[in-house]
Amino acid sequence: MKQLEIDIETFSSVNLKKCGLYKYAESEDFEILLFGYAVDSCEVEVVDLAQGEIIPDEVINALVDNSVTKFAHNANFERVCLSAYLKRHYPNKFTGKYLDPVSWKCTMVWAAYMGLPFSLEAVGTVLGLDKQKLTEGKELIRYFCVPCKPTKANGGRTRNLPYHSPEKWERFKYYNKRDVEVEMLIQQRLSKFPVSDFIWDEYHLDQEINDRGIAVDVEFAKNAVRFDGLAREELTKTIQEITQLDNPNSVMQMKNWLAENGLETESLDKKAVNELLKTAPPQLKRVLEFRQQLAKSSVKKYQAMINAVCSDNRARGMFQFYGANRTGRMSGKLIQLQNLPQNHISDLESARDVVKGGDYELMYMLYDNIPDTLSQLIRTAFIPKKGYKFIVADFSAIEARVIAWLAGEKWRDEVFRNGGDIYCASASQMFGIPVEKNGINGHLRQKGKIAELALGYGGSVGALKAMGALEMGIPEKELKPLVDAWREANPNIVSLWYEVDRAVIKTVIERVTTTVKCLKFTHKSNMLFITLPSGRSLAYAKPRIEENQFGGESVTYKGIGSTKKWERLESYGAKFVENIVQGIARDILFYAMKTLSYCRIVATVHDEVIIEAKPDVSVGTICEQMGRTPPWAEGLLLRADGYECKFYKKE
């Protein structure tokens, strides 16, 4: 046996969506109902475990044999569930915590690599397979795989078993078989576009990080949830006393009350409330400030942590490999570490100790805005295991460095080489005068910063506004001159946008291979590929040239849009450059993670890694190794900065 195709159907009373896969699979009532498989792409077999059938010994042996490649769609699910199954039923064959991911491959990852949708059903539809995933599957899963509500009609049972509906059970077995068949067809269809071994190595590293998980201070998180509930009760009561409203959370009721008191507003979103606070009279201002505190939803992450932690108080399965469809970056799941609030309070550790101690009265006495304080403490709920510390390291201005290297913008390279501040240097280059942080012409640094953040990928006045330029006090009349000054200071980056645009259009129209710098553009089987310096390719399905809103030529392709639907998307040179730069930054991060794989990496957030390290490991050593330039990016100037902490935080 060389390859095993797998699809399983399972039951657990744990809510998979809310609690995550790892907690789902460790529950006492977890079981595998059906085991569909095919050996070396032969006929699909379904083992009815729920009715006493047994998986053949050769297949059990293959599951623990790393010389046999296991394929599944969203293979993380099959691997973790089968780990729990083997540990329970075959302790003589498997004694580990999770099956080694090194022999597993995933058709979902393969599809994502090709710029296709994630779900098995959507991939099958997009590829136009002869056999499609059965649409009735969701109803069958609801019937057999999750607990049911006890009713008089069903005899008060809390679960549906095969004998409760033999006809549905037979359809469920056929559904399981069809899923394996669809997975095999996806492999056949994508076989002309194999995923490189080094990408699978990255996937295996991602799986190791997901398996390892990160420790959560559960007592602290539970106290935070309790504190938040008490604070909300008091805030609601106070607002009710002032306004006499039944429900202060009601937008309509609050807008009407404000209007009755002389303050008209169309919206009560964060931006609108911030504007209202500038002119509101004292009593209305007080109500709006209290309502802002009530609107803090980030503390829900504490509950997400409590839901997700496994029996050893570690949260697992928080990262989706290739989650960002266009660039291949990882995305977050469950607790979503990618969008945690920042911490700015000076007494972070003291505030944490108050919550940890469970003394709400002390919290109320020390902090005016409890929801905001709890929000800033969210990161600190993540802790290293006993006897270890966290080392947090990330790349300094990674995208700015990559685009400068790619475009050949030498003055920017000099800034990085000399350890300068890119925002000051950008302002200096734009305005032709020296700019120093907290020094000469220091007020211009803010303009340099917002220009850097908004304009690198073709952004103009709209991008500056979206980045908050007006709120920062930059007059609207200065925005267009700011765009012009930045582009004039960065001619090679601007040139790169147009070079990439021309290369993509030429490749799509003429079906020829073109190159720009160290990038290669190819067209194959109705796919556009942009090969990055690492050897990894960005994929765009069914590209074509269409007229854009300005009457010029524009490249469109099929992909997952902002509505999460498969649709035709429009792109252009600067947007492709953004994908390319972020893709290269992603490859640099994975290169660094591979070199640091001997460390206990527990999480990665954007361009940052969190390592659970022994006390004698130095931050300098980690940063030096992380900042090494990959061999495929000669001349790229990298730098990693880091710090150590006894709980996760932003320094």
SS3 content of the chain, % helix, strand, coil (to 5): 50, 15, 35
E strands, 111-238, are 214-216
Q: Which residue has the tokens 């939803």?
A: 297
* pLDDT number for residue 283: 87
239 touches 287 (CB < 8 A) = yes
Spatial CB neighbours of 108, under 8 Å, sequence gap ≥ 6: 73, 74, 75, 118, 120, 123
* pLDDT number for residue 38: 98
- Identify the band that residue 618 occupies on the pLDDT scale cut at 50, 70 and 90: very high
529 touches 511 (CB < 8 A) = no
Q: What's the chain's average pLDDT? A: 94
Question: Rounded distance, CA 63 to CA 80, Å?
Answer: 12
* pLDDT number for residue 276: 87
* pLDDT number for residue 474: 85
573 touches 498 (CB < 8 A) = yes
Q: Which residues of 565-591 are buried (b: 16+ CB within 10 A; e: fewer)?
A: ebeebebbbbbbbbbbbbbbbbbbbbb
Residue 298 confidence (pLDDT) above 80: no
pLDDT tens track for 149-178: 999 999 999 999 999 999 999 999 999 999
pTM: 0.93
* pLDDT number for residue 269: 86
Question: Rounded distance, CA 102 to CA 93, Å?
Answer: 18
* pLDDT number for residue 380: 97
Three-point CA angle 533, 535, 539, nearest 5°: 100
Quickly count: other Cβ atoms within 10 Å of residue 217's Cβ: 20
Question: Rounded distance, CA 104 to CA 279, Å?
Answer: 60
Question: Rounded distance, CA 83 to CA 235, Å?
Answer: 47
Quickly count: other Cβ atoms within 10 Å of residue 135's Cβ: 9
Average pLDDT over residues 369-375: 92
Q: Which residue has the tokens 């959507």?
A: 122
Question: Rounded distance, CA 617 to CA 621, Å?
Answer: 8
Q: Give the DSSP H/E element, type plus range, for residue 42.
A: none
Sheet of 640-645: strands edge to edge?
600-605, 608-613, 389-395, 640-645
* pLDDT number for residue 651: 84
- Identify the band that residue 406 occupies on the pLDDT scale cut at 50, 70 and 90: very high
Question: Rounded distance, CA 98 to CA 186, Å?
Answer: 26
Residue 129 confidence (pLDDT) above 90: no
Amino acid at 487: R
- Percent of the chain scoring above 90 in pLDDT: 78
227 touches 351 (CB < 8 A) = no
Sign of CA dihedral 4, 7, 13, 15: positive
Helix ranges (DSSP H) in 191-217: 197-212
The topology under which CATH files domain 389-397+584-645 is Alpha-Beta Plaits (3.30.70)
pLDDT tens track for 410-459: 999 999 999 999 999 998 988 899 999 889 998 888 888 888 888 999 99
* pLDDT number for residue 547: 86
Instruction: Tell me how far CA of residue 110 lies from CA of 119, 130, 311, 539, in angstroms.
Output: 12, 19, 32, 11
Residue 647 confidence (pLDDT) above 80: yes
**Of the candidates 98, 135, 99, 129, the residue with the CA atom closest to the CA atom of residue 111:** 129
E strands, 587-639, are 600-605, 608-613
* pLDDT number for residue 447: 87
Average pLDDT over residues 73-91: 97
191 touches 71 (CB < 8 A) = no
- Identify the band that residue 517 occupies on the pLDDT scale cut at 50, 70 and 90: very high
Sketch the domain layout of the chain as residue ranges.
3-195, 218-383, 389-397+584-645, 410-489
Q: Which residue has the tokens 């008091």?
A: 234
- Percent of the chain scoring above 70 in pLDDT: 100
**575 φ, ψ to 5°?**
-70, -40
**Of the candidates 403, 448, 401, the residue with the CA atom closest to the CA atom of residue 579:** 403
Q: Which residues of 511-527 are buried (b: 16+ CB within 10 A; e: fewer)?
A: eeebebeebbbbbeeeb
Question: Rounded distance, CA 345 to CA 351, Å?
Answer: 9
Question: Rounded distance, CA 326 to CA 333, Å?
Answer: 18
Residue 581 confidence (pLDDT) above 90: yes
Residue 559 confidence (pLDDT) above 90: yes
* pLDDT number for residue 279: 86
The residue length of the chain stands at: 651
Residue 613 pairs in a beta bridge with 389
The CATH code of domain 3-195 reads 3.30.420.10
Residue 384 confidence (pLDDT) above 80: yes
Residue 206 confidence (pLDDT) above 90: yes
DSSP 8-state secondary structure symbol assigned to residue 309: B
* pLDDT number for residue 43: 96
pLDDT tens track for 472-497: 788 899 899 999 999 999 999 999 99
pLDDT tens track for 9-45: 999 999 999 999 999 999 999 999 999 999 999 999 9
Residue 377 confidence (pLDDT) above 80: yes
Average pLDDT over residues 372-384: 96
387 touches 608 (CB < 8 A) = no
Residue 540 confidence (pLDDT) above 80: yes
